[in-house]
A and B are shown apart, each in its own frame.
Chain A
């Protein structure tokens, strides 16, 4: 039983960044823009979030306050960076995949250059611990308390709150309805007076915010508040894309997909805790490959009937009917 708690407690801080970034991808694609730049945006957000932590860690601010403000900083940074994608793919009608690739390449180089020139480092190392041993009261709830409110990070709770908000925004609000319309049939949206460009800016910007936050949460929950231009976010942005597809562009499914991968990943590194796996004596490398291979398998099985937003990837051009 301990092992199960352990696996889940360790899965959550890894699953939450994936969840948030995949939700970001979902908002972007639901508006019609393929956001392959998630990896870069994550790193951008993580960098500025960590930079903020670095600047204030000496002050008397409590770690959770710093985390919350850092989250805002990361979200805003992500938003700003995502504007580069919006501008190119919405206004300039550029190829979204190429622009995304450029943005992914740009940011590690930026971080390395900046960090090397100013910190003589590959990134930012902070010294604030955001870990929460247990959250008062909530942690006492049987089972749930131990799973979600002990040995955790604030990021986990925020992640699930954002998930709930995402569901409401996407399905219950005017904005969500319009956003989905733009990703499916922008001409229809346009013909009822919805500004497709604006909605797409909104979709990409939300993805920027979420990816920025996701990046920062990755730094907090996985990298102890540190960011390196070298290891970046270890392909989490790309994994998030796969998670989003696996989740069929739907928030709750995305949550399950994200947790599935996070679980595999955690499992892969905790093999020694599970005697029957450990006794197999399989090379660790295979376990490292497992999440990627599982992604491929799942995609292979689901891709045939996967249903992406119809208009995604196609620049919107009013004059084309």
Chain B
């Protein structure tokens, strides 16, 4: 591509570049998590870093943004999200000397005929279903029987959170010996990842209907849910990162170690053990502490991260987490969904996830 200006005007450029997908780096999701990782690592090691927003939200546009970053001097390019799968497939060949960290995706061609992760690419995945499972389990174990789920759009990561959440609730209801249908879950996708009055109103309505806690798995959707919760005295389960600091209403968060994983990969690059991640997909899950509920409170030595629960506590958590990491619990990450929107019906969910104690309503 042309773009010589990229180098001559841009002083010495930036060594680590993050390309955002459609959102900004405060999207409470992939962009933000990855960026926090970049900042933390680069800050500690005094490495120049920047983020770039593509001009156009298309494969070609993302590729152009990568071009721009590389021309601007980037040696490591971080691309958060599966939308970069196709662009990275192209870029890994075009820029063999640049290292790519692709979160939540693996490089492939547009028609999915060829999957290939070259040596200069690290592909990272997260087991969201496990994180969601822990959240659902904790809520029901704590005595809540009326739950809500508000996902953003029905993308695989969000779906996995939701399915995990349902399975966790079912598992806990089973443990507690609740009757069939005694746990009710209202299951909803907002269709966006924004904070807006629609999302707030939807959450308010759920609380009004008697929902005790809503698992908000959709980036900034969480802000709307927290706002509704604080008005309605409801509770919220955060997502991706520990959101207890955003609002009193957040009892726990289904986290995945976005920042931590980025830092790990960056460390491997700068500490010369790139081969740990190079050329393959790595899963972050309970086994390698890649997902889970927060167990520590920032800046509070020995603080109780479960203090916002009635009864569920660290001990109970450790127990179920051990089960999970031991591989004793089988979880579904994906189910068959008929609707084009990717929104599963109540029947599909009940059927595929084998729900008995849990009664799902979709919205």
Per DSSP, are chain B's interface residues mostly helix, strand or loop, or mixed? helix
CA distance A6 to B207 in the complex (A): 11
Contact residues, B1-38 vs A (CB, 8 A): 24-26, 35
Segment of A191-199, A223-231, A240-248, A252-260 in the binding face = A223-231
CB within 8 Å of B: which A154-210 residues = none
Q: How far is the CA of A258 from the CA of B120 in the complex (A)?
A: 58
Q: A120-B35, A234-B196 are in contact. Are A269 and B202 (CB under 8 A)?
A: yes
Contacts of A119 in B (CB 8 A): 26
Chain A residues with CB under 8 Å of B246's CB are 127
| In the complex, A98 has a CB within 8 A of chain B | no
Partner of B223, one of A14, A116, A129, A226: A226
CA distance A14 to B247 in the complex (A): 22
B43-64: which residues lie under 8 A (CB-CB) from chain A? none
Task: State A222–B227 Cα separation when bound (angstroms).
Answer: 9
1/0 per residue, CB under 8 A from B, across A33-67: the answer is 00000000000000000000000000000000000
Docked complex: B83-108 residues within 8 A CB-CB of A: none
Size bracket, chain A contacts: 20 to 34
Asked if B142 is at the interface (CB within 8 A of a chain A CB), the reply is: no
Chain B CB within 10 Å, residue with most, of A14, A116, A222? A222
- Asked whether, in the complex, the Cβ of A266 is within 8 Å of the Cβ of B209, the reply is no
Q: Which residues of B contact A116 (CB under 8 A)?
A: 24
Query: With an 8 A cutoff between CB atoms, is B287 at the interface?
Result: no
In the complex, the answer to whether A269 meets B198 with C-beta atoms within 8 Å is: yes
Q: Do A272 and B197 contact each other (CB < 8 Å), given the known contacts A119-B26, A120-B26, A121-B24?
A: no
Contact A129 B230 (CB under 8 A): yes
Q: Which residues of A contact B204 (CB under 8 A)?
A: 10, 269-270
Q: Are B197 and A223 in contact (CB under 8 A)?
A: yes
Q: Which residue of A lies closest to B233 (CB)?
A: A133
Query: Could you tell me if A222 and B197 are in contact, using CB atoms closer than 8 angstroms?
Result: yes
Produce 1/0 per residue, B218-251, CB < 8 A to A: 0000011011001100000000000000110000
The residue on B at minimum CB distance from A218 is B197
B212: interface (CB < 8 Å): no
- A224 with B223: CB separation less than 8 A: yes
Using an 8 Å CB-CB cutoff, how does the interface string of A106-146 with B read, 1 for contact, 0 for none? 00000000001001111001010101000000000000000
Cα(A137)–Cα(B230), bound, Å: 22
CA distance A231 to B223 in the complex (A): 13
| Closest Cβ–Cβ distance, residue B205 to chain A (whole Å) | 5
Does B119 make an interface contact (CB < 8 A)? Answer: no
Please indicate the chain B residues that have their CB under 8 angstroms from the CB of A310 in the complex: none
Q: In the complex, which residue of chain B has the Cβ closest to the Cβ of A222?
A: B197
When distances are taken between beta carbons in the complex, the residues of chain B under 8 Å from A228 are 194-195
Contact in complex: B227, A224 (CB < 8 Å): yes
- Name the residue on A nearest B227 (C-beta): A224
Determine the chain B residues whose CB is within 8 A of the CB of A272 once the complex forms: 205, 209, 363
Residue of A nearest to B204 (CB): A10
Please tell me which one of the listed residues A122, A226, A269 contacts residue B201 in the complex, with CB atoms under 8 A apart: A269
Judging by beta carbons under 8 Å apart, are B202 and A224 in contact? no
A151 in contact (CB, < 8 A): yes
Instruction: Tell whether, in the assembled complex, residue B231 and residue A121 are in contact, meaning their CB atoms are under 8 Å apart.
Output: no
Contact partners of A265 in chain B: CB under 8 A: 197, 201
Q: Which residue of B lies closest to A14 (CB)?
A: B197
Among B202, B224, B227: residue with most chain A CB under 10 A:
B227
The answer to the question of B273 belonging to the interface, with a C-beta cut-off of 8 Å to chain A, is no
**Are B226 and A270 in touch, CB under 8 angstroms?**
no
- Contact across chains for A131 and B230 when beta carbons are under 8 A apart: yes
Q: How far is the CA of A82 from the CA of B223 in the complex (A)?
A: 30
CA distance A39 to B8 in the complex (A): 40
**A234:B197 contact, CB within 8 angstroms:** yes
B273-325 CB contacts (< 8 Å) to partner A: none
- With A129-B230, A224-B226 given, is the CB distance from A122 to B24 under 8 Å? yes
Selected from B194, B201, B231, B247, the residue in CB contact (under 8 A) with A151 is B231
Interface status of B357 (Cβ within 8 A of chain A): no
| B256 is an interface residue with CB less than 8 A from chain A | no
- Contact A224 B224, beta carbon cutoff 8 Å: yes
Contact residues of B between 197 and 215, Cβ < 8 Å to A: 197-198, 200-202, 204-205, 208-209
Residues of A within 8 A of B35 (CB): 120
How long is the Cα–Cα vector from A120 to B200 in the complex, in angstroms? 24
Q: How far is the CA of A246 from the CA of B196 in the complex (A)?
A: 25
User: Is A105 close to B, CB under 8 A?
Assistant: no
For residue B24, which residues in chain A have a CB less than 8 angstroms away from its CB?
116, 120-122, 230
Tell me, rounded to whole Å, the shortest Cβ–Cβ distance linking B257 to chain A.
Answer: 20
A250 within 8 A of B: no
Contact A131 B231 (CB under 8 A): yes
Contact residues in B for A231 (Cβ distance below 8 Å) = 194-196
**Hey, what's the 0/1 contact readout for B346-363 against A, CB within 8 Å counting as 1?**
000000000000000001
A273, CB-defined interface residue at 8 Å: yes
B143-198 residues with Cβ-Cβ distance < 8 A to A are 194-198
Q: Which residues of A contact B (CB under 8 A)?
A: 2, 6, 10, 14, 116, 119-122, 125, 127, 129, 131, 151, 222-224, 226, 228, 230-231, 234, 265-266, 269-270, 272-273, 288
List the 5 closest A-B pairs by CB distance, nearest first: A269-B201, A224-B227, A121-B26, A222-B197, A122-B24
Chosen A-B contacts, 27 in total, with CB atoms closer than 8 Å, are: A10-B204, A14-B197, A119-B26, A120-B24, A120-B26, A120-B35, A122-B26, A223-B197, A224-B223, A224-B230, A226-B195, A226-B223, A230-B24, A230-B194, A231-B194, A231-B196, A234-B196, A234-B197, A269-B197, A269-B198, A269-B204, A270-B208, A272-B205, A272-B209, A272-B363, A273-B205, A288-B198
New A-B pairs, 14, CB < 8 Å, besides A224-B227, A269-B204:
A6-B208, A10-B201, A116-B24, A120-B26, A120-B35, A121-B24, A222-B200, A224-B223, A224-B224, A226-B223, A265-B201, A269-B202, A269-B205, A272-B209
